[in-house]
Structure 1
């Protein structure tokens, strides 16, 4: 394949290895607020909303969430390769951001205004449709968005820096999804369907504003040309692109780490609201305090970990974050009903360190892999790499609610009761497994897999024949 990877000339486009302007990092990163609010709002609330507000049996609710995510098996690779080959004066990626912003925001509103249709199966069918719409909108925006940093810069440490900016907005979006939403629901009445509809509409507006801000803020960002049109069929091109990506051993290692890690994160997310009110006997206001602590810790830790990675390497910084996450998960096994606020806040500070490192280091390493592949092959495949990476995120996001839904059904959870009425016994055990034991096991597996990752800064500093395949 012939490469056409040179950047499109622009008067103020930053050079490939130059330090990126603060405004560009801030503008691109701002889109992560909407993405984080969208993703965390869905993953953290959808099972509780479906099972306890819409009164869909937990196992059925988990199955619906899982099946809707299977759409990404088709859409992720299609959007990834499409954005790699798309040509536009606005760049390969930005047109996707425009339409994805509209669809993603609309889908959030539709999900949390889902009506109860008299039968749980009809309600589940409606929920499946709007969750599928959400999956498509999220894909159209997020895959091109996450591919953009690989085009913006080829500087090894600047890749970490731009993702540190993103991490700040991820944290703020998570704060709204994990704390702000809970406070509003507590105030409006967390067991009332109307309260959830109001929250859905407010969040949809915030998501749209954030995603469109990133679209306009990246208008003058450096971007690269794709290969353009080809005589090959779309299916042939897609198979070739992903065949090349799947042969990259560094990438395979990284997504295996992320799969294991995110399995723990997503089982925790699906069960966490239940765990707080059922097992700990705490309300959403206390959960909001936890969320604020996590956000503050994440914002403080992200730049510190970026600086630390310059001295000990990205892999070791990732180890630090992953190990912290295992300790955090295990700590919930020591919690009990009426857990003191100081203990909850301490855990929030701990997970903030883990969260910032897990996200920033993983995304920086992904960008390294993309640029190493481009140097070796002369072909830009940002979309293809990001599509597979994103699919792993979405697959775990589907498996988490599925596992927790079946665990709650097996434990005898009664979804006809208000969800803040403690049910104890097997329900508490199922929730503890979901937020502590499983995440700890998955975290250890992720650390073992990370030990085999080999791509380092030396591979970009003159040893380019080493480890780039």
Structure 2
């Protein structure tokens, strides 16, 4: 056996201890709050509490994300510089731990601000939060590519992360509407919710920083390649496999965030019960706690690529059922959302475990690749609510303040239903077609 073969065998044989794995995964609790609560409530908060017109509310959420296209790759470059100079990415992670402050500010709109001024406040807080989120998320997600571990162990690492992330998404998705006041949500309720969840975010993110340090001790980090910065960005963008994976994930991220933004509207105006928001969120997120191990087993048997294509197809099918709306019956609609949740679990686990496969195959700088990836995720997180806001605007949806009764026109009710069903199905089919162009999986699986 050659020295290279021995090194590869040692890499494939590395099994990460559960303690460091759980510590690493804990960081996703805090990130789960950031990716869930703004996506679930912010558009509704703007249109139905702050009286912001749907088109303007959509822009207030979209434009701050445009900056992420540049910010995330730049953070990725700084992340690689830190790794080269200091041997870790700890300083950026600690900077990102200020994210809870921006999260609290997002919902602490000063009293008296409505309409455009309120939208401007939210947009500014969103920009700050996105930058801090990048400072934490980019080095966090670069960790699997840093470690000397094999193809399946990278999937196992991300499976731990996915389960804990799901707990964060589920807990925050259920608690946030309740803390805001439920069906009688007010400005003060949203502000209280923002502060309470921010405290939990901070604790989880600090545990994650410690967990990454333990992981790096458990599995010696691979040498950091040079070539970050704009040159490294060019290398990442020229990587054909990475381009197809990124394009498919942009469509996936857009679709899932569109569905998340539509949940409060679908519960209130299509199902006639705002309290069902928590039921639908639970149906969408909770399945991941049960099926993530199954996705891990399936990926081991058939490969990550084939498993991911199955998840995308299931998501599209479930979305078509939701387009039928109330005539299908509440149990059927909840079951359809649960199908989306099962697929969502696969679409969170598998693409994130494929990114380090691409990085290791291409030999690029992990931070730069990850910066592009997280910029893609952030862009999808903005495009989803924006697309749904355009549906609302096209249907003539009428914005209002908290407690104000408004009768929506028939066109708005149709837009709410089709935007929650037909549009996600079409977007996910696009993701599936793009994902089919990714061909690295078999090679990466063989290489380990």
TM-score (norm 1): 0.87
- Alignment partner, residue 379 of structure 2: 395
- Alignment partner, residue 173 of structure 2: 178
- Alignment partner, residue 257 of structure 2: 266
Count of paired positions: 435
Query: Is contact 1:25–1:162 with CA below 8 Å preserved after alignment?
Result: yes
Return the offset for 1:317.
0.7
Aligned to 2:393, which of 404, 409, 424?
409
What secondary structure does 1:221 align onto?
helix
Return the offset for 1:352.
2.3
Decide whether aligned partners of structure 1 residues 419 and 315 sit closer, same or farther in structure 2, where only a CA change above 3 A counts. Answer: farther
Q: Could you give the per-residue CA deviations for residues 226-246 of structure 1, whole angstroms, max 9, x where no partner exists?
A: 367x9xxxxxx5221111111
Aligned to 1:226, which of 210, 219, 224?
224
Decide whether aligned partners of structure 1 residues 404 and 178 sit closer, same or farther in structure 2, where only a CA change above 3 A counts. Answer: same
Q: Could you give the per-residue CA deviations for residues 309-360 of structure 1, whole angstroms, max 9, x where no partner exists?
A: 11111111111111110111111022217942x3244224312210111111
Query: Is contact 2:312–2:343 with CA below 8 Å preserved after alignment?
Result: yes
Aligned to 1:21, which of 10, 17, 22?
17
Decide whether aligned partners of structure 1 residues 192 and 454 sit closer, same or farther in structure 2, where only a CA change above 3 A counts. Answer: same
Decide whether aligned partners of structure 1 residues 98 and 337 sit closer, same or farther in structure 2, where only a CA change above 3 A counts. Answer: farther
Return the offset for 1:56.
1.5
- Alignment partner, residue 76 of structure 1: 72
Decide whether aligned partners of structure 1 residues 112 and 390 sit closer, same or farther in structure 2, where only a CA change above 3 A counts. Answer: same
CA distance in 2, matches of 1:365, 1:449: 15
- Alignment partner, residue 295 of structure 2: 305
CA distance in 2, matches of 1:419, 1:91: 56
In the TM superposition, 1:283-362 aligns within 5 A as 283-284=274-275, 286-336=276-326, 339-340=329-330, 342-362=331-351
Q: Is 1:209 aligned with 2:216? A: no
Query: Is contact 1:277–1:422 with CA below 8 Å preserved after alignment?
Result: no
Decide whether aligned partners of structure 1 residues 70 and 80 sit closer, same or farther in structure 2, where only a CA change above 3 A counts. Answer: same
Decide whether aligned partners of structure 1 residues 147 and 314 sit closer, same or farther in structure 2, where only a CA change above 3 A counts. Answer: same
- Alignment partner, residue 96 of structure 2: 100
Return the offset for 1:111.
0.4
Aligned to 1:243, which of 234, 238, 262?
234
* Cα RMSD (Å): 2.4
- Relative to total residues, which structure has the larger helix share, 1 or 2? 2
Q: Is 1:446 aligned with 2:431? A: yes
What secondary structure does 1:45 align onto?
helix
Q: Is 1:275 aligned with 2:266? A: yes
Query: Is contact 2:21–2:211 with CA below 8 Å preserved after alignment?
Result: no
Query: Is contact 1:85–1:226 with CA below 8 Å preserved after alignment?
Result: no
Q: Could you give the per-residue CA deviations for residues 209-236 of structure 1, whole angstroms, max 9, x where no partner exists?
A: 11111011222322344367x9xxxxxx
Structure 2 stretches of 5 or more lacking a match? 1-6
CA distance in 1, matches of 2:208, 2:290: 23
Structure 1 stretches of 5 or more lacking a match? 1-6, 8-13, 231-236, 375-379, 465-469
Query: Is contact 2:72–2:134 with CA below 8 Å preserved after alignment?
Result: yes
TM-score (norm 2): 0.91
Query: Is contact 1:191–1:419 with CA below 8 Å preserved after alignment?
Result: no
- Alignment partner, residue 425 of structure 1: 410
CA distance in 1, matches of 2:104, 2:180: 15
Query: Is contact 1:281–1:338 with CA below 8 Å preserved after alignment?
Result: no
Aligned to 2:160, which of 145, 161, 165?
165
Q: Could you give the per-residue CA deviations for residues 20-40 of structure 1, whole angstroms, max 9, x where no partner exists?
A: 111111111111111111111
Query: Is contact 1:33–1:172 with CA below 8 Å preserved after alignment?
Result: yes
In the TM superposition, 1:37-186 aligns within 5 A as 37-87=33-83, 91-102=87-98, 104-118=99-113, 120-186=115-181
Query: Is contact 2:162–2:292 with CA below 8 Å preserved after alignment?
Result: yes
- Alignment partner, residue 4 of structure 2: none
